[in-house]
Structure 1
């Protein structure tokens, strides 16, 4: 937004009269030549829609599941709530399966009227108290606008800025992880110019070589100049919304739901008297898959309403870490408690993700390629999969092999009578495969991306089980698990070795090797780079220095995102 300062008395404006275009002046003595200024707000809005990653959307459980688990409230997943996180750290796999059930959970939306918290003593505002708005706008806009500002005292149904942010979905997402992004976009896109001058903050982005943020040479990117910024933002508001989704369910379904929510949002702005013709989407991790589903012509069908998309750390074709974590658990993180809460052990993670299609859609797809799962001994590769380009059949649905994705006894610890079994998980994997193939080439024409390409934050492109050197391995296929630490260490036997009757042969150990490929600790460069290889992106930033979940706390990721948003906004052509 660009505001030009005009000296004089600023007249109050009633937004209800003529859409903010009418006001009332006052009589002054002849000597008073000071003009009376009526400010007319821009009526154009180009909403920024943020879609978080897996575990980045807050979920609540059904009333029936809350009763079953005897919980005081209906929180299923809310990483900003320390008490809930601490309560889940020691949860059993069965408890995790019931609490994070895709069929018994929905997005925990802000609703101060109905207060759907499952706790009669907790309001929706109390549930969302972590969402604060402690930044201020340089603008003194006294007329109707989409800015996050407190309503004036005495206003009918007065709302505070925090309530407005919560209405925009800021409480639906992991606010502690995404706050910097939401606030940066909201504040700086709407206050770039004042009194005809560019705000000094923008010197961090304007006239800065994109190579500073590790832009790839192809396609070549030019620095953003002040006039381009002015032209892109002139006469328009950029309200920032966040939209959570049920990350346990299929991203296909989430894409459809998000597309409908965006349509309703655009219609709401139109009813309020704004001109709203497009939106821009910003994503984190799995949110990129949801956005691709939203614009897919057979899913969300939102292509014509989206001006462009900025993808952050997207597992474009899956991630080897998904296999590793279902077998060995999440790694501890210094940035958030989510990994420990979702499960440090393989059986804890499998109990959730084996029953959640959304989680299974983070596994490497067919486009990921062959030979990424390996068994090694003395630095020699004894087996590598897949061989025929189908990890679903060769790894994920494989039954009985010690290196397969699924340990069947981990799938249904809660002993649910239906919809939770090896067969049910295989059905979900078939649907994941269909989804992967459907969106394989789906990218918006105005797409930008940033992702980790850092050896210091290595990720699993290839996932390897290493057999101890002292072991004598006759046949990888006859190895059987005797004991499993559930964190990447297997005690096994090779049954092809002769052993005394009634006794198990000599045991040896095989371990999951640490990650060794560039990435961001979760998404390997190999997967993220599919965006570059597609040739469909207007700009790509191959960055270093951040961990996956904390990417939007990194200065280079934030500044390259804002650069990308302005470049997308430059392409906007209003109908009138």
Structure 2
């Protein structure tokens, strides 16, 4: 019995592994005859599947075919450690040599690791039976989150957002009680329920409903939510799942894995699950676009929300292959690859990574060389085809990569022919998804001068130091632009040197205890400039806003730009969270109706 004898008795509810509600109640003495209420959530199920960006899925090693069976272990683990920082990545990948990277981060030697960290608190439809003790509660919640796929994706980057989304979508199923919407008394009316005197509160039809969390910036870009859309969305439970993928392998393979996950979930939830919704981050958007093209999949997807997607690629992918990441972010660079040698060792053998390069639809001429006065030193590249004109260029120093970096010391080298095959696969993938978007697509991208991105890549000629002789003549800009790989000195960092050599400087006054310093002499230093445009720190505005400009048919329902966030943490921003919720409402309102409501 309850402390308040007049209060109705309500049976506690949890959800089982199939996502169905389960009510529990202990039998009471026969003289207690008041009814026990089982409050039912909606029967319809419209799962939301989150698809992460590159490097956002946990990976583990897998045994190689034909070799003795060995224990697999994590290769890329994205759990939050000390004070929320990913210490695992730092310990295991900080300043790893190129050969080790090439060995371990090979697409054929890894697979998705589903044993990453998961939350220990309930959220939305993820809950444990109330009679369990703390330890058993955590075990029960862990099992549920693992079943949802949350252990496959980065805890540090995504779990806070996924928890927020699960709570926002599944804590309350009566639309007029949703706190994210400005529901006023005049929006409501009561309806009698027959038989009996019971009345229920409902939203009046066809009324615009404000969503304060969107703020003035996004509200000005978007049409209002309509009360009918909130009511239609209220027909569903919207459990939040995640689907990691092998981001080293082609996004074609990742799309197939996502399609399998969609089919599994629709089978799991049964006849009242007719479709799913995809929410993507960065490269996950390319995966989702390809998935929607697979046979029968577009009809199983109600809609897609793309966040900070490099719709036509990003020039920073070229830059990191040339000079690494240490000058962008020394800490992240030490993990991802401080120089071009470490990045190339992985990048060249990873079709998924190569598919982030600027596509044929990226604005031509994004690669340039300027002389010491800032004047063009060569025609801007590419003119038309980035694959042949830049990525497979072996006869110019500004081509994508140096062939000798394909065979780092201690690695498992690949050949130039292997690399050509991977570039060809990237080109084919780019052509497959070009202009192709699901008919119900919502997009947000970053546009902030405080988070500059590489709209283009500019190599700048600067005079070198300590020339070989006072009368030494420098090669002119035309000559420099046509130098081959072996005619420049390049250790995978900016600058690249033309002529000269590394020279030791003797300690002053012959002091033997002073360290010997080394300087680079050269005719020219070729510096790779830093960011030159607005964006989110990774994806430039031109690529972020490309969907609405390039999409075939009328498939982009809404596309917004927003300031105030960087690429990795974009879903931690309240504006992007609210836009995601807005988009999910709009998509759910047009989704296939669950069979339970006809």
TM bin, normalised by shorter chain, reads 0.7 to 0.9
What do the CA deviations read for 1:507-561 (whole angstroms, capped 9, x no partner)?
2101001111111111111111111213531111111111111111111111111
Contact 2:61/2:110, CA 8 A, preserved across alignment: yes
- Quote the Cα distance in structure 2 between the aligned partners of 1:483 and 1:209: 56
Map of 2:260 onto structure 1: 260
User: Which residue is equivalent to 1:131?
Assistant: 118
Aligned residues: 518
Conserved in 2, the CA contact under 8 Å of 1:181 and 1:552? Answer: yes
Match of 1:198 among 157, 160, 177: 177
Q: Which residue of 1 aligns with 2:109?
A: 104
Deviation at 1:321, TM superposition (A): 0.5
1:552 corresponds to which of 549, 560, 571 = 571
Match of 2:548 among 529, 532, 541: 532
The yes-or-no answer on 1:565 pairing with 2:565 is no
Equivalent position of 1:421 in the other structure? 415
Task: Name the TM-score, length of structure 2 as normaliser.
Answer: 0.79
Does the CA contact (< 8 Å) of 1:313 and 1:523 recur in 2?
A: yes
8 A Cα contact 1:49 1:240, kept in partner: yes
Structure 1 pair 154–78 and aligned structure 2 pair: CA distance change class (3 A): closer
Displacement of 1:389: 1.2
Q: Measure how far apart 1:253 and its partner are.
A: 1.4
Aligned to 2:396: 401
SS, match of residue 389 in structure 1? coil
Shift of 1:458: 1.2
Alpha-carbon distance in structure 2 between the residues aligned to 1:48 and 1:416: 40
Q: In 2, are the aligned partners of 1:210 and 1:222 still within 8 Å (CA)?
A: no
Aligned to 2:57: 57
User: For 2:308 and 2:15, how far apart are their aligned partners in 1?
Assistant: 41
Q: Distance in 2 between matches of 1:417 and 1:213?
A: 54
> C-alpha displacement at 1:316, in angstroms?
0.4
Q: Alignment partner for residue 477 of structure 2, among 468, 473, 477? A: 473
Per the TM alignment, residue 192 of structure 1 is displaced from its structure 2 partner at its CA by: 3.9
Residue 417 and residue 553 in structure 1: after superposition, are their counterparts in 2 closer, same or farther (change >3 A)? closer
How has the CA–CA distance of structure 1 residues 92 and 193 changed in structure 2, closer, same or farther, with 3 Å as cutoff?
same
Contact 1:445 1:536 in 2 (8 A): yes
Unmatched tracts of structure 2, length 5 or more: 1-5, 80-85, 184-207, 465-473, 501-519
User: In 1, distance between residues paired with 2:457 and 2:306?
Assistant: 25
- Correspondence for 1:242: 242
Change (3 A) 1:284 1:445: same
CA shift for structure 1 position 331: 4.8
Match of 1:142 in 2: none
Deviation of residue 85 (structure 1)? Answer: 2.7
Query: 1:177 corresponds to which residue?
Result: 157
Match of 2:369, SS state, is strand
Alignment of 1:319-468 (within 5 A): 319-331=314-326, 338-377=332-371, 378-413=373-408, 420-468=414-462
Q: Quote how far apart the aligned CAs of 1:388 are.
A: 3.8
Q: Report the TM-score, using the length of structure 1 for normalisation.
A: 0.81
Return 530-539 or 401-410, whichever deviates more. 530-539
Which residue number corresponds to residue 148 of structure 2?
A: 168
Say whether the 8 Å CA contact 1:256–1:300 is kept in structure 2: no
Residue equivalent to 2:282: 285
Question: 1:488 offset after TM fit, Å?
Answer: 2.0
Distance 1:38 1:559, change over 3 A: closer
Rounded to whole Å, the distance in 2 between the matches of 1:284 and 1:294 is 15
Of 276-285 and 565-574, the range deviating more from structure 2: 565-574
Counterpart CA distance in 1 for 2:132 and 2:534 is: 56
CA distance in 1, matches of 2:582, 2:91: 38
Q: Deviations over 1:463-490 (max 9, x none)?
A: 1101116764342203665433523211
Aligned partner of 1:37 in structure 2 is: 37
**SS at the partner of 2:489?**
strand
CA distance in 1, matches of 2:216, 2:156: 24
Larger radius of gyration: 2
Match of 1:148 in 2: 126
Q: Which whole-Å CA distance do the structure 1 matches of 2:109 and 2:216 have between them?
A: 42
